[in-house]
Amino acid sequence: MLSYFSKYWFDFVWVMTLKEIKARYKRVFLGFIWAILNPIFQMLAIGFIFQFFIPVKIDNYFYFLFAGLLPWNFFSYTFSKCTPLMLNERSLIQKAKFPREALVLSIVFSNLFHFLISLFLFTVLTIFVGYLSLFKLFILFLAILWLVFFTIGISFLLSTLFVRYRDIKFIVQAIIPLWFYATPIIYTRALLPEWVATILKFNPMTGIIELFQFVFISGNSIINLEAVVPGILISLTIVLIGIYLFKRDNQYFDDWL
């Protein structure tokens, strides 16, 4: 079992990830700057509009937005790109036998690379503006781990289902904005009626985003775990289903492409 993850396997995932990173900016002026500019523009747009609507009781609203938008963007870009992945890479799949999971992992890791750059800059900023303790950095590390784990699971699940059911792509496109508003990114759960706040606990992204907000927003010194426990259980279920289906089906992908 362990021998499956050979040096070749790691090399393969590594080269595929590099390919993703390189190909993305190959013919784009300013290259990496876009990875940082994107969330900044998004933050400015949302922040500008929503401060008129929501009776925002959140200090430093723009700053608060950024803490949630960064992980959300990584998550939503990754799984929406992974959904039609097997169809986009059919020429590779029909060429040879190779570890197919590398296709999904290379998308996750290349997006993770961009996410970590932005996150690093944001962290440096926070050190100057707010305060970051070692404990918070440790929580940040755990939050990233959980986020990556969940993103991998859902990407395996959706890319596998898409091979057979092509309408998954449209379902995903419809769900992304809904999921965005069902996650406390532009608001906090404290602003919601009790029963809505309770339902949102079962969205794994709630727990993840709240951990990020805990890390970056000074003033929060008490960590709120009530969305973390159900979130971890639900992510674990989705990850296991995703990996199981991918393992069962990936050798038959060619039959459906």
Which residues are at the interface with other proteins (CB under 8 A)? 7-8, 11-12, 15-16, 19, 22-23, 26-27, 91-98, 161, 164-168, 171, 251-255
Name the residue nearer to other proteins (CB basis): 81 or 201: 81
Task: State how far the Cα of 131 lies from the Cα of 137, in Å rounded to an integer.
Answer: 11
Q: Which two tokens stand for residue 163?
A: 């091979």
Name the residue nearer to other proteins (CB basis): 103 or 143: 103
Task: State how far the Cα of 239 lies from the Cα of 237, in Å rounded to an integer.
Answer: 5
DSSP H or E segment with residue 59: none
Name the residue nearer to other proteins (CB basis): 99 or 230: 99
Task: State how far the Cα of 108 lies from the Cα of 82, in Å rounded to an integer.
Answer: 8
Q: How far is CA 217 from the centre of its chain?
A: 20
- Tell me 52's DSSP state: H
Q: How far is CA 80 from the centre of its chain?
A: 10
Shortest reach from residue 24's CB to other proteins, in Å:
9
Shortest reach from residue 118's CB to other proteins, in Å:
23
Name the residue nearer to other proteins (CB basis): 57 or 164: 164
CA dihedral 224, 71, 183, 231 (to 10 degrees): -50
Q: Which two tokens stand for residue 31?
A: 């290259």
Shortest reach from residue 148's CB to other proteins, in Å:
23
Q: CB–CB of 120/35 below 8 Å?
A: no
Shortest reach from residue 79's CB to other proteins, in Å:
16
Shortest reach from residue 76's CB to other proteins, in Å:
20
DSSP H or E segment with residue 14: helix 7-25
Q: CB–CB of 73/183 below 8 Å?
A: no
Name the residue nearer to other proteins (CB basis): 92 or 142: 92
Name the residue nearer to other proteins (CB basis): 19 or 57: 19
Q: How many CA atoms lie within 13 A of 212 on its CB side?
A: 25
Shortest reach from residue 25's CB to other proteins, in Å:
10
Name the residue nearer to other proteins (CB basis): 220 or 251: 251
Shortest reach from residue 8's CB to other proteins, in Å:
6
